[in-house]
A = this chain, B = another copy of it.
Amino acid sequence: MGGIDWDAVQRWDAQYYLHVLSSNREYEFVPIERVEGDYLEFPDGSRALDMLNQLICVPAGQCQPVIQRAIVDALERYGHVAEYYNTDYRARAAKLLVEDILGDREWPGKVRFVSTGTEAIELAFIAAKLWKNKPYVLTREFAYHGWTMGAAGATKLPGYVAQLSGTEDDHSARFVQSHPPGGFFLAPNVDCFDCSLGHTYPACKETGPELPCVRRTRRVIEGVNPQMIAAMVTEPICGSASIGPPPPEYFPQIRRLTREMDIAWVCDEVMMGFAKTGNWFCHQAWGDEVEPDILVMGKGLSNSALPAAGIIVSKEIAEFFDEQRWINVSTFGGHPVVMAAVCATLQYLIENDAPARFREKGAYFGEGLRRLEREHPTIGAVNSMGMVFTIELVKDRQTKERFVAMNRTALHAGDVAQYPTEIILQKTLERGVVITGFSPNTLRISASMNISEEDMDMALDALDYGLAELDRLAAQAEA
């Protein structure tokens, strides 16, 4: 579409669009003319390899032809049909999830679709509260579950709560009043690189029958009152907080704890679901015992080709809801054209054994990262599962001193150009690669299941180049 007048676009965008993440003074126009596979293409024809996979949300690669085609087909028959009518696409999407993807599991009951991850989290909380008839939700520090009010209640990354953050010398922020609401309580997260309970894994296992972080969670539940907690929500691997995978004992113990306390376990697979960690859903890494009451899906569900999200509830919950009328309609829930994208995505992922593919790509890329780890002292740790990576950046590997003091609790105020993730981004962009992260000192890397070894090598080279700069800055600081 050579006909695009990008100057006009830039003018309109600057004048009429409310931008996020940067003030107007700072705002940079980054036009994307097309996307394909793992690449972004700019109007001048140049391209960038997207190693953030947008927001870890395009598992089948951009513009995957079979998905695009399926949408085109659906457009022949469907405009919009509201949630109280039935379409073949919606029924098939539910069937693909419960029967084809999770068919070897006992727990899954029924599916309901909405449009976005934050909506799906809201829906999960509503379902859990109705089921348990209890009022509160337990979440964890550093959790990100969305931005609408209920999801925001469960979000505990103070730097990602819809605030206005200051620019330049202004390190303050204006937070949204009465948002989040009450009724959300905070358990510790599990971050073995920087344990907030002062333990070291695996030595911490000697302290008792439960990991200290699980025991602490138990105590928070007891302190808040288990009879008032409807649900505990967790990301299987923290997405926006970019924390490495928890130790293998964590989720089995959390799951036992929630069962014991009669608390619904809501597993937020919005970012980690759909194969990229090497299992269909990330929580499956921890065995059969670790099965959610409510699984929350988004992003990868439709390959982000169109806005789709949803929940899968357990058989027990499904039977409970079947008894009554649930008076809750979402205009775009189960939109037939969107459902066509979901069906095509799921079929593509199934037919191409996406979990195996992501395990294989992840193994290759992980090896490269391990090599960089040996070479760059500013790598504090490389964590991974499947094709999802985090790299902890440190000034000093021994002391684990950070470049920027606040990491996951940074407010993104003041001069963010000095964030290591920003420095790496600038450097990797010089080599045509997007590598960055959501916290100042932690890189978050992923890609589609189809990324080539050549592209991974290119990404590793670019990262090597960026880390060299960081090593230089660290050495300079020390001198």
Binary CB contact string for chain A from 154 to 196 against chain B (1 if under 8 A, 0 otherwise): 0010111111111100001111111101111110100000001
Complex Cα distance, B80 from A213, in Å, reads 37
Segment touching B, from A33-41, A351-359, A380-388, A465-473 = A33-41
User: What would 15 more interface pairs be, CB under 8 Å, given A13-B91, A116-B116, A198-B215?
Assistant: A21-B326, A126-B179, A130-B176, A135-B135, A148-B149, A148-B150, A150-B179, A158-B224, A196-B215, A197-B197, A197-B215, A198-B212, A216-B216, A299-B331, A307-B338
**Contact (Cβ within 8 A) B331 A223:** no
At the interface, yes or no: A78 with Cβ under 8 Å from chain B?
yes
- With beta carbons under 8 angstroms apart, the residue of B129, B161, B173 that contacts A178 is B129
Identify the closest chain B residue to A164 (Cβ).
B324
Identify the closest chain B residue to A298 (Cβ).
B331
- With beta carbons under 8 angstroms apart, the residue of B29, B61, B92, B327 that contacts A160 is B327
User: Which residues of the other chain, B, contact A404 by a CB distance below 8 angstroms?
Assistant: none
**Contact (Cβ within 8 A) A111 B16:** yes
User: Which residues of the other chain, B, contact A325 by a CB distance below 8 angstroms?
Assistant: 20-23, 26, 164-167, 412-413
Segment touching B, from A62-70, A276-284, A456-464 = A62-70
User: Which residues of the other chain, B, contact A71 by a CB distance below 8 angstroms?
Assistant: 71, 75, 337
- With beta carbons under 8 angstroms apart, the residue of B26, B76, B172, B330 that contacts A116 is B330
Complex Cα distance, B114 from A171, in Å, reads 28
**Contact (Cβ within 8 A) B122 A337:** no
Residue from A80, A160, A318 having most chain B Cβ neighbours under 10 A? A80
Complex Cα distance, B25 from A207, in Å, reads 44
| CB-CB contacts below 8 Å: A1-15 with B | 1, 4, 6, 8-10, 12-13, 15
Segment touching B, from A95-103, A249-257, A364-372, A390-398 = A95-103
Complex Cα distance, B123 from A463, in Å, reads 36
User: Which residues of the other chain, B, contact A330 by a CB distance below 8 angstroms?
Assistant: 116, 118, 147
**Contact (Cβ within 8 A) B81 A35:** yes
Complex Cα distance, B307 from A332, in Å, reads 6
CB distance from A335 to the nearest CB of B (A): 6
User: Which residues of the other chain, B, contact A199 by a CB distance below 8 angstroms?
Assistant: 197-199, 207, 212
Known contacts A21-B329, A95-B16; A75/B72 CB under 8 A:
yes
Complex Cα distance, B178 from A23, in Å, reads 29
Complex Cα distance, B160 from A108, in Å, reads 27
Known contacts A78-B63, A207-B199; A18/B318 CB under 8 A:
yes
Identify the closest chain B residue to A305 (Cβ).
B79
Question: Would you give 25 A-B contacts (Cβ < 8 Å), ordered by A?
Answer: A1-B77, A9-B87, A12-B91, A13-B94, A16-B99, A17-B334, A21-B84, A21-B327, A35-B80, A36-B79, A64-B79, A119-B148, A141-B219, A149-B151, A158-B224, A160-B329, A162-B327, A163-B326, A164-B325, A165-B324, A178-B178, A178-B181, A196-B219, A197-B216, A198-B208
At the interface, yes or no: A348 with Cβ under 8 Å from chain B?
no
Complex Cα distance, B71 from A335, in Å, reads 15
At the interface, yes or no: A204 with Cβ under 8 Å from chain B?
yes
At the interface, yes or no: A83 with Cβ under 8 Å from chain B?
yes
**Contact (Cβ within 8 A) B331 A134:** no
At the interface, yes or no: A403 with Cβ under 8 Å from chain B?
no
User: Which residues of the other chain, B, contact A305 by a CB distance below 8 angstroms?
Assistant: 75, 79-80, 337
User: Which residues of the other chain, B, contact A85 by a CB distance below 8 angstroms?
Assistant: 30-32, 40
